[in-house]
Structure formats: structure tokens, C-alpha cells
Structure 1
Amino acid sequence: MPYPFVLPTTSAFSFSSSCTCDSHPSLPLQASTHRGVVRDALKKHKRLPPASQAPSLRTVTAALQNYLPYLFAIDAGLSNKTIHSDEVMITLKTNPQMEWRPTLSSNVLLGRELPRIKVHSLEHELFFALSTLATTHTLQSRVALQPLYQTTTAPVGTAQRQTAISTATRHLLDAASIYDYLCARSNESLTTPNAPSWPCADISPSTLRALRSLALAEATLLAVLKDDPYPAAVAQARNPHDTEWMYKAPDIPKVRAHLFARLCLAAAEHAAQAAAGFSSSNSSSPLGKGVGAGGGISEGLVRYVADLRRASRARACRFFGIDAELGGETGAGIAWLRAGLAELGVERKGEDGHRERGGFRGLRKEWSERREDKKVERGRDWGADGGRLEETRVIEMLEAKWTKQNDTMLTQPIPPTTSLLAQMPSGREIHTIKPFHPPMLSPDVLEAMRAPPDRADEVDDYPTSDEETTVGSVPGAFPGSSAGLKSGTPGYF
């Protein structure tokens, strides 16, 4: 958590090839220059190994933030809007010819990268650029949260934990704000006559609404995680580098259990809305209509949203159980925990009078936990289960503890879980999405672009993002040997 998105890549493009600006002749050249920086940053990020991609996210974010004001200036000129009371006169000569590689769409040909899609609208260029910026915010929230889940180093302190969660929450709310703006803008585009159709599912209105709900669900869960001591206690018990257990037990302060439960239910509702949005994107997929962009949203993202909803409801059950246990109703608390396990789809041992033969259940569980720990350590695809594994660990720990207490001292009856689930209240919101304000060029920068461009706006023959820089195409060759072969000089044995 959050979802491990993949950043898209794009082709080279010259704005002067499709538009001119009579009032600010240098605007198309400056926009092309900054777009080239974005393209280069995305290409370099893609080629980095997963463990090295985290530092480059700031570079990608800065490149996008520097490019967007110029793109919004061109958009304002095409929409007959002013910037700082200054009119920008843009004339569109031809439809733009640019390409973006979708990363949310499912791949029809498994094992092969999705082909790029052609974009013939500056409106869709704006949507791709903004959605990519929102994706970088989501990935930066993952970078902030990664130290909390590592078991190969000493556990982080309370202050560091609070700072990491606050930073991740801020990034997720920034992403939700961008998606909210895109949703509102897509609604306006639907009412525009002769508006171009959406080129792929990545920027369709239903997908943008789903991504907004997903970011809001993840931010709501982080508000709970900030004051939830149980995941940290479970992680602390599993960390071999932790030595605090030698002189004190983990601190489990009392929590506002009922409030946290309602927040988790709100997160589950947002996750359900995201699932509905992705389902709508899949039903209106352009597959079979001549668009080689895949067949709707990828199964991994759809499965993550479903797991996130189940984990959120299970966490709500856990907090209802904690609230009951704090009130002296241990039997009801155990029933709530079992309801949480049922939400997660976890079968309890001996629940139906059977045990899995050979202890394979425990071996599979241990193997999956070790695999997830390695993913966290390598920084690749961790948390793709929507938090189900983490919540399962916490609930099973509490169930074993409370069941032992109830069997030896309290002997309270355990009510059926169905009656408890019917008593669930509605969710409670904690975050409000702030409006996204499009970045605008400063008056000084806008005035400087009234001068004619100092060079031609031409796209060089750069290699595409598919092409990797290879060294030595001849087996056994030294670096630079291919150039030597072309020039006739020996470069290999």
C-alpha cells in the first residue's frame, strides 16, 4: 500500500509543428523544450532498476511541474482565455501527432509491453501529463512508507513513523486533488461538441474517478495507521534486529476504536467506488475498435482494489472487536475478529473440524510472508495485496491472545458473526480534497516569450524509450567496438 504504479513514457513532439502563437512566438519552442525534459526523465526512470527508481521520482516530478505551466498556457490560448489579463493567441495548424504508452491498461499479448497509443489532441496530452504527475505523488507516498515495513533493519522510532505517514498522506491527497480536477475537466469535455474520444482506458473519465476514490481510500487508511499501534507491534515482533523485547513489552495504548472502525468503513466505501469505476472502464474498453491499447484496466490493479476493500472491512471488524474487548466483552471481540478473518477470506484452523494435511497451510503462509518481506527490501511490488497480509497477521495475533484469555479466565460465549456484521454503521470521512489550481506562467516569463524564438523548434532523431543503449553487439567486444567496426578499425579480438 499504496499501489505500485508504473510511470508511462512518451514520444518526442514539437509544438511548432501543429500550432503557432502570434502574441508569444517563443511559447511553442519553450513548451517543446520542457516536454523534451519530461520525456527524457521518464525514459531514464524506466531504465533504472526498481531499487534505484525512488530517487528519480523527484526529478520526474520537477520536470512535469516545469512543463505543465507552458502546456496550460497553450491550452488557455486555444480556449480563448487570458493569463494574468494577458491574451495568448494560439492558432492550431494541424492536429498534433504524439504518442504515450499506457500503463494501467491490460495487455492482450501477455509477456510483451503494451504498444504506444497515438494522441491527436492537446487536451489528452494535458490529461496524460497530469495523471503522470498524480502517479508520481502516489509512488512518492510508497517511498515514504517503505521503511515502516522493512524487517532487515532496526524499526523506526515513533517520530519517524508519524513523519513518514504524514508525508505519504500529503502525497496521496495531492494525487486525489489532481484526479478530482481531471474528473471535473472530463465532464466539461463530454459536453463539448466534436470532442475527441478517449484514446485508452488510462485517461477515461471512469478510470479517473476510480483513481480519485482509490487515492482517497489509501489516505483514509493512513489516518488510521498513524495511531494504530498493532501493525507496528506485529512488525516489531517479526524483526530480528529489534531488541526492545528484552527489557519491555510493546506499548499498546488505548485507541479510539469506534472512530477508527468508521474510518476504515469509509475507506472500504471508496475502494468499492474505485472498483465500480474500473469495472465501467472495462465495460467500455476500446478493445476491438482498432485501438491497440489493451483491453481495459489491468487485472493486477482490479485485484488490488478488491483486496483493499476486503482489508479495510476486516480492519473495521478488528477495531469493533477492540472496542468490545475494552468494554469487557471479550467474547464479542473474538467474534468480531473472526468476522474480520472471514472478510479477508482466511479459513481458521479447525473451523470445520478439519486440518489441512501435512501442515501445508503454515508452510504456504510462511513462504508468502518471506516473499513479501523480500519485496519490501528490494522496493518492488510490495503491498500489492492491498494490506491483506498485514491485517491477517494482526487479527490472528489478537485472536490467539483473546481466545486464550477467554478459555482460561473469562469463558464468555462467542456470538455468531452474522449478527455483528448487520450492526455495522456507515463510514465517516476525515479528509477533504482540496481543489487543484493549474500552474500558470509568471508575468515576467510570459512577457519574455513575446520575443521571437532564438532557434528552430525541431525534434531531433532521438531513440525511442523502447531502445536500450547496448554496449558491444559482438560477443567478446570491448565498449565502443561497434563504432570501431563501422569505421573499419579493429575493436575486438
Structure 2
Amino acid sequence: MPFPFALPTTSSVLLSDFFDSVTHPSLPLTATTRRSVLKDALKKHKRLSPQQRDSNLPTVQDAATSYVPYLLALNTGSGYRDVGPEKLDVEVKQPVEVEWRSTLSVALPGREPPRPKLVGLHHEIAFTLSTLAYTHSLLARSQLRILYGTATLSADQRASTIAGAMKHLLEAHSIHNYLLSLPSISAAKDAPIDIQPSTVSALASLALAEATIIVVAKDDPYTAAVAEDRNDSNKDWMFKAPTIPKVRAHLFARICLAAAEHATNASGLLARSGTGRIDEDLVKYANDLRRTARGKAARFLAIDTELSGKTGEGLAWLKGARKELGLSVELDDGKRKGFKGLKQSWQERREDRKIEKCGEWGMDGGRYEEARVVEMLEGKWDKENSTMNIQLVPPFEPLIASMPSGREYHSPQPYNPPTLSPDVFASMRAPPEPEEAVFRGEEEDSGGEDGFAGRSEPVGAFPGTAEEYGRSTPSTSYY
């Protein structure tokens, strides 16, 4: 986790064909240049290998962040509103037409998702800001992957890594909420599934759930102990059971329950979008994240109970944690049994290989990683209870039903979109020079677009020599 979003790609658009400004004539052309840079960055990012994409994410983030203020300035000026102290007048020649690839919609096997033609500047704003939010989630994902790598991190390094990921997730949450606050976005009925209000609201809840659940990872020694235990580079031959203060264990349980509530909200909103329309992996991930959060909460309540000397009740909480995780409740001498246990072991090994190869790891929402922690504690406590304490293990169902309410940890701040500096804004009052050409990007369009040229090369012609052929209309002649 977080979810591995696929960044969308877009077509080439010359914004000066759709907008004109009397007060700032250079604004449409400058905005086109910034958009072309973003278009190239997204297309180049798509061709990179999974190992190279993590290091390229800051480039995409910079391109999207640089384009947002120009895009919002066009939107503000077209609504006859001023930008700060500046008077901005933007005339809409015709509704802007853009194409963005819908990465959250269901596609046929072996085919890319569709890239529909969208009419209206609000669609352009929604996809641009959504792309920026996806980038922040992917940046958080690339940082959290370090926790499960081969390197053993110190407590300070672990805390710094998690804090950076948390900041990116909260920024993604704020961007999604900002989109919902725009009337043109929240009222759009003809939008693709990616930018519909229900989907954007679900993604906001999902980002907040991810930012909430990793709060406990910073001070959770059990998860770190399990990660180090299966790390081949770890040379420690002796394992000391970690300890955690009692009060914090109960607090962590309530924080996890708050994350579960946000994940439940996201799962319900995604299901409302319609089965068969939205990516099934995203729906499954939201449901698995909910299971992980509730299972982690039950595990912390088990720790809180065991620290009070109630080992039997703690074991019951761990059984409840396994139930919440959707795994087998019973173990045979501390080991998994049956086909379900074999399948779980196979899926865990598969997840480890994905982490090593920078693949799409974490699609289970951390569910199997939490299962390893629960099994470690269950094996340890069961051995102690069988030899020393000998306490009865009560049923876990009443305990799960008596879970406390969730407690929010974060206070998300509203998103403040970047704005143009007064110097940059004033420089666009001058009209563009006649010989000044707008940057249209180095990447060619894909997905059936004609691009800026408006026509394709003649059959058999050398690339770039279309102008040398005088025939401008199709001919029915064979010669």
C-alpha cells in the first residue's frame, strides 16, 4: 500500500484555439506550453520500467504543479473574475476539447482503457488535479516500500520515512476534497468514472484511511520485528520480544478503527459507482484495507489485554483479528493447516517477490503482512498459556462486537492550489511575438488522435515529407 495508481495520458491541445485574452494575450500560449510539458512527462513515465518510475515521479509532480496555476487562471478569467489584484479577461472562443485516458475504468483484456473526448475546461481541471493526487499517492508508496526492502532501518529512519509518506497521502486527500468543492466538478453528470463525484469522494476517503493506518506503523515494533525476522541480511540470531506501553496499545487500536471507517466509506462509494465500470482491483484493495485496519485494531486490543495479565482473552482477540482479516481462525500447533493455509503461504511469498522486483506489491492492503504479526504473537502467547498461565480462551465474537469507537489522528488542511506570481502574471500582458512558437511537446499522440497536423502521412511516404505531396484529398485512382 498505498494503491498503485496508473497515471493517465492525454492528447495534444492548443489552448489558444479555444481561449483568447485581451488583458493577458500570452496566457493561452504559455498555458499550452506548460500542458505540453505535462503531456510529455506522462507519456515518458508510461514507457518506463517499474524500477524507473519511482525515480521519475518528482518530474511528473513538477510538471503537473507548474501547469495547475495557468489552468486555474484560465478558468478564473473565463468566469469574469479577477486573479488577486490583477484584472483578467478571458474570452472562450469555443468549448475546449481534450482527451484523457480513463485509468480507473474497466478495460477489455489486452487493451488499454479508453481515452474519450471531453468537452469543457472543468474536465481538464479534474483530470489534471487527479493526476497530481495520484502522483502524491505513488510518492508515498515509493517511500513506504523502503520499510519492506532488504535494508534494516533504524527507528529514526523508519519514523522519517513514514512521516514523508504520510505528508504525501494527506496532500492527495486535500486535492481530492478540493475537487469536490468545485461546483463544476461536483455537478458533472457526463464525466468519466475517474472524475465522477462518488469516485473522487471515495479516493479522498481512501487516502485518509492510508494516512491514518500508517500512523501506528511508526511506533509498532511488532511489524518491524516480523519484517526483520524474514530479512536475509539480518544477522541477529537472538530475538527479544518487543514491548509496547499499555495506554498506547489501546490508542493505536482506536486509530486503526478510524482508518477502517474511512476505508469502509471508500469501499461503499466505489461499489455505488457500479460493478463492471470501475477497476475491480481498486474495489478489492479498499475492502482489504478495511479488513487490515480492523484486524490491526483487534491485535492492538489483544496486546492491551495481554499486558494486563489476561493471556486467554488476548488469544481470543487474536482469533478475532484473524477473522477480521478474512483468514482461518484455527491453527494446528501454531501452524496453518488445510488448503486455505497453503494458499495464504503462497500469496505471502508472491507478495515478497513483488516487493523485491518493485512490482504491484501491497494490493492486499497489508493484510498478509498483518497476518504474520498475529501468528507470531499467537504462537508466543499460546506457548506461554499452555506452560505457565493456563487460562481459558473465551469466544472471540463478543469481543469483536464490543470494539470501541475510532479516534481521528489527522486534521487535514484544505488544499491551496499554486498561484502565479505577480511578476509572471504581469509578463503575460505583452502579446506574443509573431515568430514566437508555442512548445507543443516532443511526444507524439497515441490512441487514434491526429495531433496538431490534422492529417496522416500518405501511404508509402517517408516520415515528415507529407508537404511534398500536392494531393490534399483522397484519390480513387490506382496510379
TM-score, structure 2 normalization:
0.89
**Partners in 2 of 1:329 and 1:419 — Cα distance?**
16
1:387-466 map, 5 Å: 387-454=366-433, 455-457=436-438, 459=440, 463-465=444-446
Aligned to 2:39: 39
Q: Following TM superposition, by how much is the alpha carbon of 1:168 offset from its aligned partner in structure 2, in angstroms?
A: 0.2
**Alignment length, in residue pairs?**
447
Aligned to 1:80: 80
Do the aligned partners of 2:11 and 2:100 also contact (CA within 8 Å) in 1?
yes
Which stretch of the first structure deviates more once superposed, 181-190 or 130-139?
Answer: 181-190
Aligned to 1:470: none
Q: Following TM superposition, by how much is the alpha carbon of 1:228 offset from its aligned partner in structure 2, in angstroms?
A: 0.7
Render the CA deviation track for 1:292-317: whole Å, top value 9, x for unaligned.
xxx52210000000000011100000
Q: Following TM superposition, by how much is the alpha carbon of 1:321 offset from its aligned partner in structure 2, in angstroms?
A: 0.3
Aligned to 1:297: 278
Aligned to 2:171: 174
Render the CA deviation track for 1:134-181: whole Å, top value 9, x for unaligned.
00000000111111112xx23122111111000000000000010111
State the SS of the aligned residue for 2:215. Answer: helix
**Partners in 2 of 1:411 and 1:40 — Cα distance?**
66
Aligned to 2:243: 252
Aligned to 2:454: none
**Partners in 2 of 1:306 and 1:167 — Cα distance?**
25
**Partners in 2 of 1:446 and 1:258 — Cα distance?**
53
Do the aligned partners of 1:71 and 1:126 also contact (CA within 8 Å) in 2?
yes
1:42-57 map, 5 Å: 42-57=42-57
Do the aligned partners of 2:170 and 2:211 also contact (CA within 8 Å) in 1?
yes
Letter in 1 for 2:163: S
**Partners in 2 of 1:462 and 1:221 — Cα distance?**
39
Q: Following TM superposition, by how much is the alpha carbon of 1:261 offset from its aligned partner in structure 2, in angstroms?
A: 0.4
Q: Following TM superposition, by how much is the alpha carbon of 1:95 offset from its aligned partner in structure 2, in angstroms?
A: 1.3
Letter in 2 for 1:252: T
Q: Which of residues 226, 241, 245 is equivalent to 2:233?
A: 241
% identical equivalent positions: 49
Aligned to 1:282: 274
Q: Following TM superposition, by how much is the alpha carbon of 1:84 offset from its aligned partner in structure 2, in angstroms?
A: 2.1
Structure 1 residues 335 and 67: alpha-carbon distance in aligned structure 2, compared to 1, 3 A threshold: same
**Partners in 1 of 2:119 and 2:413 — Cα distance?**
31
1:218-233 map, 5 Å: 218-233=210-225
Letter in 2 for 1:218: E
Query: Which sections of structure 2, spanning at least 5 residues, go unmatched?
Result: 449-460, 466-479
Do the aligned partners of 2:319 and 2:330 also contact (CA within 8 Å) in 1?
no
Do the aligned partners of 1:14 and 1:458 also contact (CA within 8 Å) in 2?
no
Letter in 2 for 1:137: H
Alignment RMSD: 2.2
Q: Following TM superposition, by how much is the alpha carbon of 1:349 offset from its aligned partner in structure 2, in angstroms?
A: 4.4
Do the aligned partners of 1:271 and 1:305 also contact (CA within 8 Å) in 2?
yes
Render the CA deviation track for 1:43-82: whole Å, top value 9, x for unaligned.
0000001111011100000001111110011011012221
Asked whether 1:319 is paired with 2:295, we answer no
Q: Following TM superposition, by how much is the alpha carbon of 1:239 offset from its aligned partner in structure 2, in angstroms?
A: 0.8
Asked whether 1:205 is paired with 2:184, we answer no
1:101-140 map, 5 Å: 101-107=101-107, 109-140=108-139
Do the aligned partners of 2:180 and 2:186 also contact (CA within 8 Å) in 1?
no
TM-score, structure 1 normalization:
0.86
Do the aligned partners of 2:41 and 2:63 also contact (CA within 8 Å) in 1?
yes
Which stretch of the first structure deviates more once superposed, 120-129 or 362-371?
Answer: 362-371
Q: Following TM superposition, by how much is the alpha carbon of 1:215 offset from its aligned partner in structure 2, in angstroms?
A: 0.4
State the SS of the aligned residue for 1:379. Answer: coil
